[in-house]
């Protein structure tokens, strides 16, 4: 082939690469089995609900969502992501629940220049120094919900707190977030194994310390067992429990029931948040799945809407990564949490709310919105992010 | 402080006794039949699912527990008659391969029947709360588990040490050929021991269900601990299994409870918080290595 022909072919290929795609593929890797499965299932169901409302299209183009279960293992998640990137050539990836898995899978996705829209995991690493043009988080930065609880515990005047969290990146973020706003004494930081289900030893330790409050961040089955065992051990009589929304949403409430009443928790979303998008989401989710949505479901739903808005904005030309990034950053969708915007590190700047678990008018145990903790709150790592 | 130690000792006892239920069956199958059964943990998982399903159907935890244990015993019987009988003659590699296949089959079968999400069991309402023991509150349900574990240990002691069947079992563990030569129906003995082991697995799975979660793969992590127990205690020895279980239960609980605090006194807080849990989880393996160094046959070897 002569040099001129080669140049022509290259130009044609380049031109070809920005024509509109005829189909959008989404690779959805999430934790769908084991103790963390409740989270992944909620994100998936929220995502699927949005796809259903969009008639199976993203930005007007037919869309295919390929789902894989990572079994809460970074290795299995990496294998699934590799297949999505190399074989299926997906346009977006989403779904990962746990930050240790996100940190393991992230680099592969970014190298492949594929956009990852996180519907949950928001590790501090990807918000700060390792922030990446191909990473967006539509939910929150890990620290945020814990910062909000820290603020509440501080303002309510608690002085002696025990923190319980799993020993993994999300747990470390939880502790730093909580401590950023809670300034009183921390009697003990208890780190448990990720996925631990028996908390007898930790509860005995808490009993001997006699704190006035316990802040626990134990997502999924871990939190379910912790609260059940906490109440069974008789600790709830003298100790107030505080949690981020992760450990006190519908998945945990459904399993634990009445012992959850009175737990204060923080969230960027609530099922009784008053806006038309949220009302439609909550009503449709209940109709479709027969249960109340959790914050995870709202995040999955928003992730789908975010992709939809961005693909529509670039008129289906998802190959033009720069334009797509601008469209994602501009946030062309109405979130069920109300309005928010993306910061320069691709993490949200948004409100955080206080909720308390109680009985609603129908006698059902659920979360009730109490008030706003932070308005237009950004994460603490954005200044370290040099987005290239 | 004494209260903390007492409560942690109770926790260790509870954990140890549940390990004993698993280890007792495993050590007999391994010791008497010389058969490595990796699928022992799967019997624990399937037993827990049986109990959970029967509890939901009967709306009573105790009926569910009885039905689940009976179901697991029947499954054990079928497994022994169809598969394990063929395996005793084979070498350990074939046994490992065949029982590993059983693990995979059991996990996928459970996933197909009950789904990938964990089943949640609740203890009976009367036992859901705490009771006062010696000046502090302790979960009533954990005390019931301890009672069950002690009862099974006592029963096993009577069976193995005092009854004729127990004598055959001990004889079989010490020298199988000699026992056969003396006219004992070792085949039938094997079946009985295997079925009994399966029932104990289901009992442990069912009792722990409300405390933990009934889920796919719950058998593997506990199987490793059960092997540690029988190696520490001496393969084939019920007494060894009991002592080994209590040691492992106590060391694991105390390690998790005390190590991070101890390390914090010596190291900076963030290093201690990383090292503490990591060290606590390898503590029992260190213990096993230590015991094997001094007593390669375990604490109470069945074969002299």
Q: What is the ipTM of this complex?
A: 0.83
CB A305 within 8 A of CB A333: yes
State the Cα–Cα distance between residues A367 and A359, nearest whole angstrom.
8
List domains and CATH numbers for chain B: 2-294 (1.10.3470)
Chain B partners within 8 Å of A32 (Cβ): 116
**How long is chain A?**
388
Domain-located, residue A14? no
Question: pLDDT tens string for chain A (388 positions)?
Answer: 455 655 555 555 544 445 667 899 999 999 998 878 889 999 999 999 999 999 999 999 999 999 999 999 999 999 999 999 999 999 999 999 999 999 999 999 999 999 999 999 999 999 999 999 999 999 999 999 999 999 999 999 999 999 999 988 889 889 999 999 999 999 988 888 888 889 998 999 899 889 999 999 998 888 889 999 998 898 988 899 999 998 899 888 888 888 889 899 999 999 999 999 999 999 999 999 999 999 999 999 999 999 999 999 999 999 999 999 999 999 999 999 999 999 999 999 999 999 999 998 888 999 999 999 999 999 999 999 998 7
Mean pLDDT, rounded, for B293-303: 86
Query: Number of residue pairs across A and B with CB atoms under 8 Å?
Result: 102
DSSP 3-state of A230: helix
Report pLDDT for B95: 94
DSSP 3-state of A60: coil
Please give the model's pTM, rounded to 2 decimal places: 0.84
Same domain for A226 and A241, yes or no, is: yes
State the Cα–Cα distance between residues A216 and A227, nearest whole angstrom.
9
Domain-located, residue A388? no
Same domain for A186 and A255, yes or no, is: yes
Closest in A32, A38, A207 to B7, CB measured: A207
| Interface residue A166 vs chain B (CB under 8 A) | no
| Residues 6+ away with beta carbon under 8 Å from A88 | A25, A27, A66
Same domain for A335 and A375, yes or no, is: no
Report pLDDT for B281: 80
Residue in chain A closest to B212 (alpha carbons) equals A197
Chain A partners within 8 Å of B212 (Cβ): 197-198, 225
Same domain for A69 and A148, yes or no, is: no
* Shortest distance, CA B34 to any CA of chain A (angstroms): 33
Q: Give the residue numbers spanning the domain of A78.
A: 22-142+274-350
Half-sphere exposure of A278 (CA within 13 A, CB side): 17
The model's confidence at residue B194, banded by pLDDT at 50, 70 and 90, is very high
CB A68 within 8 A of CB A28: yes
The residues facing A352 across adjacent strands are: A374
Closest in B116, B129, B215 to A232, CB measured: B129
Same domain for A240 and A361, yes or no, is: yes
Task: Transcribe A145-185 into DSSP letters.
Answer: HHHHHHHHHHHTT--EEEEEEESSHHHHHHHHHHHHH--SE
- Percentage with pLDDT > 70 across chain B: 98
State the Cα–Cα distance between residues A53 and A94, nearest whole angstrom.
19
Phi-psi region of A234 (alpha: psi -120 to 50; beta: other; left: phi over 0): left
Domain-located, residue A243? yes
For chain B, the average pLDDT equals 89
State the Cα–Cα distance between residues A242 and A172, nearest whole angstrom.
17
Same domain for A228 and A360, yes or no, is: yes
Q: Find, among A163, A341, A140, A381, the residue nearest to A246 by Cα.
A: A140
Same domain for A253 and A190, yes or no, is: yes
Report pLDDT for B22: 94
Which residue, chain included where needed, has tokens 């993994």?
A168
Q: Find, among A164, A309, A129, the residue nearest to A244 by Cα.
A: A164
| Interface residue A93 vs chain B (CB under 8 A) | no
Closest in B11, B116, B260 to A204, CB measured: B11
Q: Which of B277, B278, B281 to mutate to test the interface with A (most CBs of A within 10 A)?
A: B277
Domain-located, residue A16? no
Same domain for A115 and A215, yes or no, is: no
Instruction: Specify the number of domains making up chain A.
Output: 2
Domain-located, residue A3? no
> For residue B167, what are its two tokens?
């004598």
Same domain for A284 and A256, yes or no, is: no
Report pLDDT for A6: 59
Phi-psi region of B60 (alpha: psi -120 to 50; beta: other; left: phi over 0): beta
CB A217 within 8 A of CB A148: no
State the Cα–Cα distance between residues A178 and A131, nearest whole angstrom.
22
Q: Which of A204, A226, A227, A228 to mutate to test the interface with B (most CBs of B within 10 A)?
A: A204
The model's confidence at residue B276, banded by pLDDT at 50, 70 and 90, is confident
Report pLDDT for A16: 46
Q: Find, among A203, A179, A74, A222, the residue nearest to B270 by Cα.
A: A179
Report pLDDT for A220: 82
CATH number at residue A137: 3.40.50.2300
Domain-located, residue A15? no
Same domain for A231 and A123, yes or no, is: no
């Amino acid at each position: 082939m002569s040099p001129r022909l080669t140049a022509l072919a290259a130009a044609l290929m380049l031109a070809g690469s920005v024509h509109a795609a005829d189909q959008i593929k989404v690779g959805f890797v999430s934790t769908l089995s084991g103790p963390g499965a409740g989270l992944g299932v909620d994100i998936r169901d929220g995502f699927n609900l949005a796809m259903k409302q969009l008639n199976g299209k993203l930005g007007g183009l037919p869309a295919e969502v390929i789902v894989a279960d990572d079994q809460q293992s970074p290795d299995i998640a990496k294998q699934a992501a590799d297949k999505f990137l190399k074989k299926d050539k997906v346009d977006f990836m989403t779904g990962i629940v746990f930050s240790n898995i996100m940190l393991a899978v992230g680099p592969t996705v970014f190298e492949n220049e594929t956009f990852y829209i996180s519907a949950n995991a928001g590790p501090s690493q990807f918000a700060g120094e390792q922030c990446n043009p191909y990473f967006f988080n539509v939910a929150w930065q890990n620290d945020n919900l814990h910062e909000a609880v820290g603020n509440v515990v501080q303002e309510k005047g608690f002085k002696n707190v025990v923190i319980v969290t799993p020993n993994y990146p999300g747990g470390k973020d939880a502790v730093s977030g909580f401590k950023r706003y809670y300034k009183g004494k921390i009697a003990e930081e208890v780190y448990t194994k990720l996925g631990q289900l028996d908390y007898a030893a930790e509860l005995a330790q808490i009993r001997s310390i006699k704190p006035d409050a316990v802040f626990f961040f134990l997502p999924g089955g871990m939190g379910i067992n912790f609260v059940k065992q906490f109440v069974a051990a008789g600790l709830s009589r003298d100790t107030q429990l505080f949690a981020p929304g992760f450990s006190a949403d519908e998945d945990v409430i459904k399993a634990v029931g009445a012992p959850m009443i009175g737990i204060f928790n923080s969230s960027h979303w609530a099922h009784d948040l008053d806006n038309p998008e949220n009302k439609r989401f909550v009503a449709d989710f209940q109709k479709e799945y027969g249960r109340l949505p959790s914050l995870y479901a709202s995040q999955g739903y928003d992730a789908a809407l975010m992709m939809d808005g961005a693909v529509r904005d670039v008129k289906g030309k998802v190959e033009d990564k720069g334009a797509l990034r601008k469209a994602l950053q501009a946030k062309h969708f109405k979130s069920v949490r109300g309005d928010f915007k993306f910061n320069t590190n691709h993490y949200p700047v948004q409100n955080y709310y206080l909720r308390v678990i109680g009985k609603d008018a129908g006698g059902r145990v659920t979360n009730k919105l109490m008030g706003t903790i932070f308005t237009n709150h950004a994460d603490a790592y954005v200044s370290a992010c040099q987005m290239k | 402080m004494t209260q903390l130690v007492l409560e942690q000792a109770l926790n260790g006892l509870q954990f140890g006794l549940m390990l004993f239920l698993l280890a007792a069956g495993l050590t007999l199958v391994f010791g008497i039949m010389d058969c490595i059964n990796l699928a022992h943990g799967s019997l624990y998982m399937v037993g827990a699912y049986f109990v959970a399903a029967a509890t939901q159907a009967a709306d009573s935890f105790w009926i569910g527990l009885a039905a689940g244990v009976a179901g697991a015993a029947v499954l054990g019987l079928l497994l022994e008659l169809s598969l394990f009988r063929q395996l005793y003659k084979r070498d350990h590699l074939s046994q490992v391969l065949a029982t590993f296949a059983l693990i995979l089959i059991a996990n996928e079968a459970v996933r197909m029947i009950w789904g990938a999400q964990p089943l949640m069991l609740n203890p009976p309402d009367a036992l859901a709360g705490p009771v006062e023991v010696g000046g502090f509150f302790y979960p009533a349900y954990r005390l019931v588990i301890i009672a069950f574990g002690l009862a099974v240990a006592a029963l096993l002691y009577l069976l193995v040490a005092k009854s004729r069947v127990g004598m055959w079992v001990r004889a079989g563990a010490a020298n199988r050929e000699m026992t056969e030569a003396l006219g004992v129906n070792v085949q039938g003995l094997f079946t009985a021991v295997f079925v009994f082991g399966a029932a104990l697995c289901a009992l442990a799975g069912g009792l722990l269900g409300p405390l933990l979660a009934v889920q796919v793969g719950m058998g593997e992590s506990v199987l490793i601990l059960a092997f540690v127990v029988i190696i520490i205690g001496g393969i084939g020895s019920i007494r060894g299994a009991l002592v080994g279980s209590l040691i492992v239960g106590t060391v694991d609980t105390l390690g998790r409870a005390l190590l991070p605090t101890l390390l914090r006194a010596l190291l900076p807080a963030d290093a201690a918080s990383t090292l503490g849990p990591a060290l606590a989880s390898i503590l029992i393996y260190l213990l096993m290595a230590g015991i094997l160094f001094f007593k390669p046959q375990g604490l109470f070897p069945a074969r002299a």
